[in-house]
Structure 1
Amino acid sequence: MRSLLIATVVMAIVSPSHAQSLPGGFVYLRDIDPSIIQDIRYATSNNFVGRPLAGYGAGECVVKREVGLRLKAVQQELAAQNLSLKMFDCYRPARASLDMVKWSQNGHETAAERRYNPNIPKTELFRLGYIASRSQHSTGAALDLTLVDLKADNSGSYDPSKTYADCTAPVAMRAPEGSVDMGTGYDCTDAKGHTAVTSINPEQRTWRKRLVAAMARQGFVNYSKEWWHFSLPGAGGAAYDFPIQPRRN
C-alpha cells in the first residue's frame, strides 16, 4: 500500500556484499515458498512513478519469517483450487516511501502516471493519505498482492510502448497484470479500488471476497481502501531502510 503510517524508521543499511544477511527476522519469500508468483512492481518501471524506486535493487519479496510462513499456508490452500498468490510488494525500504513523496511533489504529471490516479492530481496524493513518508510495508508485515487463476491464459505482459486505459477501465483495456480481474488494476487510487465497493461486477466482487477470506484464515487484515493491501497484526515493529538486494541461490 502506498499509504498507512506506522513506526519509527530504523536505518539498517545492508551492503551489497552482505545482501543475504537480512536483519530483524526478515527472509526472502522464495526461501519459504518458491511457488508463490512474484511481480515486484517497484523494482521495475511498471508502476505509478514510472521507474524503479529507491532501495529496490532486485525484484524480490522480503518479509518477516512469520509472515512468510503464513503466506505459505495460504498458498497451499489456494493450490488445491488451481489458484496462486501473486506478490506486488512486500517489505519496502523507508527510502522508497520518501521517493514516492518526492515524486508527488516534482511538479510534473504524465498521462502514464494518471493511469493510476485518474481522478486525483498527484499533488493531492500526500495530503489525502494515499502516499505517506512512513509505511507499514517497511516493518515487513504488510503486503500488496492478488490472485492468479492457474488455469487461465496469463501470458499477457506489460508493454511500455503501448498506451493503456486508466486503472478503472475494463480489464481488456488496462495494462495486463497476469492475474484475475479484481475490478481495477493494482495501485489504483480511486473509489473503485476500495475493497467492498459495489460499482464493480459480481465476478470481480467474488474474486475480492475469495482473496480476503483466504488471507483472513491466516490472520491477515485487509485495508478497506485498497483491495490488494494486507497486513499481519503484531508481526511488524520498527520500520527499516535496508535495500532489497538479489537473492543468492
Structure 2
Amino acid sequence: MNSSPLVNVDAEALKIEIDLIYAGADNLAGKPIYKDARCLLHRDAEICLRLASRLAHQAGLSLRVFDAYRPPYAQLLLWEALPNPEYVRDPKLGSHHSRGVAVDLTLLDGEGQPLDMGTGFDDMREQSHQFFPDLPPAVQRNRLLLLGIMLGAGFQHIASEWWHYELPDAENYPLIDDHSIRPARD
C-alpha cells in the first residue's frame, strides 16, 4: 500500500501543460536535476490546482506548471547553485516544494502562448517580485490575473517570485523524501 501523500498531476485530466524545467538543463543550476519528469503534488495541493485550472479556463486561459514536488536532494542542488534565501529556501529549513504543497506556474492564452509576466521563470531579480512596480500595465494585469486565480483556488503567494504559489500554513506539512524521484546524472 502506498502511504505517500503525493499524487501524480494528470495534465490531461486537469487540462494543463506540464513543463518541468528541472528535468532539463535550462534552469538556474545549468544542468538537469530530475532524471524523470513526473509532476507530483500533495493531495491537498492537487485539489487546489484542479480548481485553479477550472478558474483559468473560465477566463479563456490555461496553466503551465514548471515545478511541483521537489525532492530534498534537488533543493540542495538549487541551493548550491543560488544560496540566496530570498529566492531559494535553505534546504536545512525544508522547501515547501519538498513538502509537496508548492507549485511554480504561469498562464497561457487561448492559443497556448504564455502571457507576458515581465520576466521568465526562475529569473532571480527584483523584477520577478510579485508586485514590482516598474513594469508595463499589461504585465501587471497578467500577474494580477494569475494571482487572483491562484488565491481563488486556495493558494497563497510569496513576495519574491510571481510564479510561486503554496498552500497556506505550508510549514505544517511534513517534508517528503520520495526516493522514486532520482537525481539526473552529470
Task: Give me the TM-score of the superposition, normalised by structure 2.
Answer: 0.86
- Asked if 2 retains the 8 angstrom alpha-carbon contact of 1:193 and 1:226, the reply is yes
1:238 paired to 2:174: yes
Letter of the 2:143 partner, please give it: R
1:149 paired to 2:134: no
2:32 equivalent in structure 1: 52
Cα shift readout 1:120-152 (whole Å, capped 9, x = no counterpart): xxxxx4255433223110000011111000236
Alpha-carbon spacing, 1:22–1:40, altered in 2? closer, same or farther (3 Å): farther
Letter of the 1:138 partner, please give it: S
Task: Give me the TM-score of the superposition, normalised by structure 1.
Answer: 0.66
Pick one of 46, 55, 70 that aligns with 1:92: 70
- Asked if 2 retains the 8 angstrom alpha-carbon contact of 1:36 and 1:84, the reply is yes
Moved over 4 A (4+): none
Please give the secondary structure, in 2, of the residue aligned with 1:213.
helix
- Asked if 2 retains the 8 angstrom alpha-carbon contact of 1:90 and 1:137, the reply is yes
Q: How does 1:45-194 map to 2 (within 5 A)?
A: 45-53=25-33, 56-102=34-80, 104=81, 125-131=82-88, 132-133=90-91, 134-151=94-111, 154=113, 179-194=114-129
Structure 1 residue 81: Cα displacement: 2.2
Give the share of equivalent positions with the same residue, in percent. Answer: 32
In the alignment, structure 2 segments of 5+ residues that lack a partner are none
* Distance of 2:64 and 2:148 partners within structure 1: 16
Letter of the 1:202 partner, please give it: P
Aligned residues: 177
Structure with the larger helix share? 2
Greater Rg by CA = 1
Letter of the 1:142 partner, please give it: A
- Asked if 1 retains the 8 angstrom alpha-carbon contact of 2:11 and 2:17, the reply is no
Structural RMSD (CA): 2.1
Structure 1 residue 39: Cα displacement: 0.6
Please give the secondary structure, in 1, of the residue aligned with 2:69.
coil
Letter of the 1:141 partner, please give it: V
- Asked if 2 retains the 8 angstrom alpha-carbon contact of 1:29 and 1:61, the reply is yes
Cα shift readout 1:86-107 (whole Å, capped 9, x = no counterpart): 10000000000111233x3xxx
Greater relative contact order, per chain length (Cα 8 Å cut-off, separation 6+) = 1
- Asked if 2 retains the 8 angstrom alpha-carbon contact of 1:61 and 1:91, the reply is yes
- Asked if 1 retains the 8 angstrom alpha-carbon contact of 2:6 and 2:42, the reply is yes
